Structure 1
Amino acid sequence: MRNVKWMAGSCFAMALALLAWGCAGKAQKAVPFEEIKGQHPANWIQVHYASYIATPEQCQTCHGSTTDSALAGGISKVSCFTCHTGGVNHPAGWAAPAQHGLAAKQAPSANPIAMVGFSHCAKCHGATYAGGVANSCKACHTKAPHPDKPWTGTTATLTNHIFTDQANVPECFKCHAAGANSTVHPLTTPPAGTAPGCLNDTMCHSTTISSPAGIRILPTTAP
């Protein structure tokens, strides 16, 4: 009887080990996984998106379906839908300006799954939006990672940059420091170390957008 119990216990332990190996062994091929602890690194929530986009099937090995919540969870019993309640991919119609354009102009969120703010786009589309683990924004926006004119228009439309939340300034600064890539340049050079801002001479505008005294319009042929 003792031998039977021992054999049963051994079989159960072996089954658990094989289950853990099946998840850890396969996931280890593509993503960081601490096999002894049976978990991803501590910062995985913040950085896992890159591995998912590169090889989504590796996530599905342990976490089940990423498109059907009823089939999610997998052998890890951790469903992607626990956090991504609407699914892990962009929603239907995302290519429309009213979807992704409006989201990009909002303030970035501390929530790693919130698809808002230019910096969130940069995670997958590259630091300069020329392509990363996802396609380049310039595949559609041929001149910049935002619409052409009337992006500089004066009406309250999706293509008007003045309605972009100013929390996106660090992303704008990547291309527009000191008025670069623009026909609008600041009137003065700000003190060294001035934090990027919309109206402080660090990019295109000086003290105001609407006043002619606050901007200097350059010829369209200017570099």
Structure 2
Amino acid sequence: MNQRLIAKTLLTAAAALVFWGCSTSATNAPSLNPTTGQHPATWQSSHWKDYLMNPDSCKPCHGSTTDKTQAGGTSKVSCFGCHHPDGPHHPADWAQASQHGRLGAQPKDNGLTGLLRTSFVACTRCHGDQYTNPVGITPACTACHTTAPHPAKPWVSGVSPSNPNHDRTDPSNAAECAKCHALGAHSSITPKPPAAAGTTPGCFNGTLCHTTNL
């Protein structure tokens, strides 16, 4: 066997070992192609769920997901390359009501993807369609909001200039509100008259609590 063939064989084996080590140490990660070292073609659109199920599985290949200076791992592909500036996590002050409530859940859906997307429906991908059945390490909304995925009273008062108030919620979120408040459920206000069955949820059409814009 000539030296060139031996060298090529050894390089191929070494590359395979690197990728094999990366995929096997990340036990919950999908298998990597031993030739290209790439994830499946659909990985970009689905990797968020696998990350939430086992964040540590990404670290051998991609490094830290919280410290940009330690990111990249053996693949030299950092999570911060796409998820910037905070990586695959919400900003440090996200727990503040003015952030995840007023700026995150309440606005109109902006049509973006991942952590940049707004509206109540954007929260459901990680926190669950009922806000109580989150994916992986994601907390349920009810871990803090013990009765609903929004503050208790004075949620309905509209007195705060910065914190969430239900009157500041964009009407495009009505379908999410209907999951708990259809025809005035869990509310002291019921629509009179109630909307006909099958009516698209709206804030002022009798499908939730109100029949007119107050």
Output the TM-score relative to the length of structure 1. 0.82
The equivalent of 1:10 in structure 2 is 9
The equivalent of 1:32 in structure 2 is 30
Give yes or no for contact 1:24–1:35 (8 Å, CA) kept in 2: no
The equivalent of 2:212 in structure 1 is 207
Matched, 1:180 2:180: no
Matched, 1:106 2:107: yes
Structure 2: how far apart are the matches of 1:175 and 1:41?
A: 38
Closer/same/farther in 2, CA of residues 42 and 93 from structure 1, 3 Å limit: same
- 1:89 is paired with a residue whose SS is coil
Structure 1: how far apart are the matches of 2:43 and 2:190?
A: 41
Q: Give the fraction of aligned pairs with identical amino acids, expressed as a percent.
A: 45
Give yes or no for contact 1:105–1:117 (8 Å, CA) kept in 2: yes
Q: Which residue identity is paired with 1:106?
A: P
Matched, 1:145 2:145: no
The equivalent of 1:81 in structure 2 is 80
Choose 1 or 2 for highest CA Rg: 1
The equivalent of 1:56 in structure 2 is 55
Deviates more, 1:32-41 or 1:149-158: 32-41
Structure 2: how far apart are the matches of 1:113 and 1:3?
A: 53
Structure 2: how far apart are the matches of 1:67 and 1:12?
A: 33
Q: Which residue identity is paired with 2:142?
A: K
Shift of residue 11, structure 1, vs aligned partner: 0.8
The equivalent of 1:196 in structure 2 is 201
Match of 1:124 among 126, 141, 160: 126
Structure 1: how far apart are the matches of 2:158 and 2:66?
A: 41
Structure 1: how far apart are the matches of 2:210 and 2:9?
A: 72
| Runs (5+) with no aligned partner, structure 1 | 211-223
Structure 2: how far apart are the matches of 1:52 and 1:153?
A: 38
Closer/same/farther in 2, CA of residues 42 and 113 from structure 1, 3 Å limit: farther
Give yes or no for contact 2:106–2:164 (8 Å, CA) kept in 1: no
Output the TM-score relative to the length of structure 2. 0.85
Q: Which residue identity is paired with 2:122?
A: H
Structure 2: how far apart are the matches of 1:43 and 1:197?
A: 35
The runs of 4+ residues in structure 1 deviating greater than 4 Å are: none
Q: Which has the higher contact order (CA 8 A, sep 6+)?
A: 2
Closer/same/farther in 2, CA of residues 4 and 33 from structure 1, 3 Å limit: closer
**1:117-137 CA distances to partner (integer Å, 9 max, x unpaired)?**
222222222222224232222
| Runs (5+) with no aligned partner, structure 2 | none
Q: Which residue identity is paired with 1:90?
A: H
Q: Which residue identity is paired with 2:106?
A: K
- 1:183 is paired with a residue whose SS is coil
Over the aligned positions, Cα root-mean-square deviation in angstroms equals 2.2
- 2:116 is paired with a residue whose SS is coil
Structure 2: how far apart are the matches of 1:204 and 1:34?
A: 51
Give yes or no for contact 2:155–2:164 (8 Å, CA) kept in 1: yes
